[in-house]
């Protein structure tokens, strides 16, 4: 074996977004493309001698090849040890867990999360820092600057190692440990939740269905829900990770998890349903013939958190992304703890968690988490719900309905316009920003505008400022419309429109969501001219 220095030239557009660098598989398969980005990560980190790195991904197409490349490059940069998931598999939450448990310098996550996989699908890479969370903007910007000026990278010419069996290997002077991808994570979950109570719940006839969506969370769900907690075999469906996710879109929402929705809508449905996404960091929670919005899920977990052993001391604070509904804020006020509103992107929660200002956090895009790691965590959310169900003896629908009766209901929906022409999407947002200053006080029929702005966030820990994080139109009664462009896709642009209406009266808590939000939907179209800019009469996905 020897270490080679390879000449290269830069590729345009290797700037990491909110969730790392995401492109089509064919882009990553270009000679030097992945190597350039990994070299830029290592150049940003500096001296890696004696340090530990964690590597793993969601098992999508090109994952194994990318892992082998990263291992050879890590060896060429002096790492003492790399922990890699068996088969190249590690869920994003598990990467965070392993980094924190083993004191690693950081980790490289290979995933495009909920984006489609396969040879014609998407691939992604991101770097997580030593706290287990996504790299902050200061780090990702430095990585990007290195990609712009790179002229060479270093890599060992060692042969591929066997990733299929746990055990030790060596590349140059670096030790490689192929680890059970579930073990450390499952151990952490046992510390947070009452596994005995959940076992008793299941042994008493409680039935559940977890949809792994042929993505990375399947092995975690089978090991914990079936093997450790006693759910009958087959409770976890679509459990085997596939390189193309079985040809499906691994996004846990009512559209893409249609099989689970059908199961939970049947007369003989299980008591509890859940799904997770491509890399295991998102979750969808369902009761029998009843679905829970991510915003309500965060609020319910916060209101009942002390029922779980890991949270019996209470919560320090609750954080949510700005587009997420304000339901959790009402819980925070009742508990007398701070509520934080951040931009979208889990890295913004990291500072709050590290500083001890927040315990639970969540985003409307089916992401919920806590200070146990520094990523959102799909299986964790499922176990939290199971713990609440076991502790209260109530159904999912009972818990949510009682929550609405106590706090009021925040009707909430997200309308996605996917694959929109990027220029048109940016022009739509620019036109909205021009209108903001004159909107306060406008009568829009059912609503009067209280204020309109482009959300700006000043981090209460480090003082950093993030601008243009989403256009908000807030009504005098607290109802909101939010517009923002997503940074998670690989083609065109995705316009996301978020709609929220608060209803205090329990007599009006069971309206169909889109009906309850009807006037706001019309206002959003009229104010933004969505159909004119995008050519779309209806959203691609409504959640």
Same domain, yes or no: 300 and 173 = no
The CATH code of the domain that includes 281 is 3.40.120.10
Band (114; pLDDT cuts 50, 70, 90): confident
The CATH code of the domain that includes 504 is 3.30.310.50
Q: Classify residue 316 by its DSSP letter.
A: S
Which residues are the active-site residues?
Answer: 113
User: How large is the average pLDDT for residues 174-198?
Assistant: 98
Same domain, yes or no: 386 and 482 = no
268 C-beta neighbours (distance < 10 Å), count: 7
Same domain, yes or no: 356 and 215 = yes
402-445 confidence digits (pLDDT tens)? 999 999 999 999 999 998 999 999 999 999 999 999 999 999 98
User: How large is the average pLDDT for residues 509-518?
Assistant: 95
Q: Would you say the pTM of this structure is higher than 0.85?
A: yes
Same domain, yes or no: 372 and 433 = no
Same domain, yes or no: 270 and 391 = yes
389, 407, 425 - which closes a domain? 407
Same domain, yes or no: 166 and 285 = no
Same domain, yes or no: 324 and 449 = no
Same domain, yes or no: 150 and 243 = no
Q: What percent of the chain has pLDDT over 90?
A: 92
- Asked whether the beta carbons of 85 and 181 are under 8 A apart, the reply is yes
Residues listed for the chain: 543
Q: What is the pLDDT of residue 489?
A: 53
User: How large is the average pLDDT for residues 380-403?
Assistant: 98
How far apart are alpha carbons 137 and 540 in whole angstroms?
30
**Residue whose entry in the numeric block shows the structure tokens 């709609």:** 499
Same domain, yes or no: 390 and 379 = yes
Band (488; pLDDT cuts 50, 70, 90): low
Same domain, yes or no: 90 and 191 = no
Band (17; pLDDT cuts 50, 70, 90): confident
Band (345; pLDDT cuts 50, 70, 90): confident
Band (347; pLDDT cuts 50, 70, 90): confident
Does residue 491 surpass a pLDDT of 80? no
Name the pairing type of β-strands 471-475 and 480-486.
antiparallel
Same domain, yes or no: 214 and 339 = yes
152, 181, 210 - which closes a domain? 181
Same domain, yes or no: 242 and 326 = yes
370, 386, 407 - which closes a domain? 407
Cα–Cα nearest to 166, from 277, 104, 83: 83
Enclosing domain of residue 105: 3-181
Question: What total number of domains does the chain contain?
Answer: 3
265-318 confidence digits (pLDDT tens)? 999 999 999 999 999 999 999 999 999 999 999 999 999 999 999 999 999 999
Cα–Cα nearest to 193, from 305, 328, 83: 305
Q: What is the pLDDT of residue 318?
A: 98
More confident site: 104 or 487: 104
**Inter-helix orientation angle 183-192/378-392, to 10°:** 30
- Asked whether the beta carbons of 109 and 209 are under 8 A apart, the reply is no
Using only C-alpha atoms, the chain has a radius of gyration, in whole angstroms, of 23
Band (26; pLDDT cuts 50, 70, 90): very high
Does residue 487 surpass a pLDDT of 70? no
For the chain, the average pLDDT equals 95
């Amino acid at each position: 074996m020897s270490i080679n220095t390879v000449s290269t030239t830069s590729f345009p557009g290797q700037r990491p977004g909110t969730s790392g660098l995401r492109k089509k598989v064919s882009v990553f398969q270009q000679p030097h493309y992945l190597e350039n980005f990994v070299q830029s990560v290592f150049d940003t980190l500096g001296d890696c001698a004696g340090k530990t790195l964690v590597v793993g991904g969601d098992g999508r197409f090109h994952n194994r090849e990318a892992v082998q490349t990263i291992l050879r490059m890590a060896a060429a940069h002096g790492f003492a040890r790399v922990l890699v998931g068996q088969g190249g598999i590690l869920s994003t939450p598990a990467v965070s867990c392993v980094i924190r448990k083993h004191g690693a310098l950081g980790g490289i996550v290979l995933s495009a999360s909920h984006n489609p996989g396969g040879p014609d699908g998407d691939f992604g890479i991101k770097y997580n820092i030593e706290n287990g969370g996504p790299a902050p903007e200061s780090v990702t910007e430095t990585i990007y600057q290195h990609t712009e000026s790179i002229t060479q990278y270093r890599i060992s010419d060692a042969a591929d190692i066997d990733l299929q069996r746990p055990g030790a290997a060596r590349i140059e002077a670096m030790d490689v440990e192929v680890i059970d991808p579930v073990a450390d994570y499952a151990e952490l979950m046992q510390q947070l939740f009452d596994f005995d109570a959940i076992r008793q719940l299941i042994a008493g006839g409680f039935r559940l269905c977890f949809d792994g969506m042929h993505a990375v969370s399947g092995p975690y769900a089978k090991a914990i829900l079936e093997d450790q907690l006693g759910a009958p075999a087959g409770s976890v469906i679509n459990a085997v990770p596939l390189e193309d996710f079985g040809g499906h879109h691994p996004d846990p929402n009512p559209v893409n998890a249609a099989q689970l929705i059908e199961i939970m809508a049947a007369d003989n449905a299980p008591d509890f349903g859940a799904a997770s996404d491509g890399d295991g960091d998102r979750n969808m929670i369902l009761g029998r013939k009843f679905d829970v919005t991510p915003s309500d899920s965060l609020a319910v977990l916060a209101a009942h958190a002390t029922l779980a052993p890991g949270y019996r001391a209470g919560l320090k604070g609750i954080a949510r992304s700005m587009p997420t509904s304000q339901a959790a804020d009402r819980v925070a006020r009742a508990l007398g703890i701070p509520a934080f509103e951040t931009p979208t992107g889990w890295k913004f929660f990291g500072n709050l968690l590290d500083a001890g200002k927040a315990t639970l956090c969540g985003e409307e895009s089916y992401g919920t988490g806590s200070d146990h790691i520094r990523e959102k965590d799909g299986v964790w959310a499922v176990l939290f719900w199971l713990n609440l169900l076991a502790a209260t003896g109530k159904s999912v629908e009972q818990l949510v309905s009682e929550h609405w009766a106590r706090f009021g209901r925040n009707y909430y929906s997200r309308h996605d316009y996917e694959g929109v022409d990027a220029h048109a999407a940016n022009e739509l947002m620019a036109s909205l920003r021009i209108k903001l200053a004159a909107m306060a006080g406008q009568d829009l029929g059912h609503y009067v505008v209280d204020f309109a702005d482009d959300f700006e966030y000043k981090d209460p820990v480090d003082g950093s400022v993030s601008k243009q994080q989403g256009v908000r139109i807030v009504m005098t009664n607290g109802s909101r419309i939010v517009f923002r462009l997503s940074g998670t896709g690989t083609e065109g642009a995705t316009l996301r429109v978020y709609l929220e209406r608060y209803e205090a009266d329990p007599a009006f808590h069971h309206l169909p969501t889109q009906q309850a939000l009807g006037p706001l939907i019309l206002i959003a179209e009229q104010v933004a001219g969505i159909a004119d800019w995008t050519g779309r009469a209806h959203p691609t996905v409504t959640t």
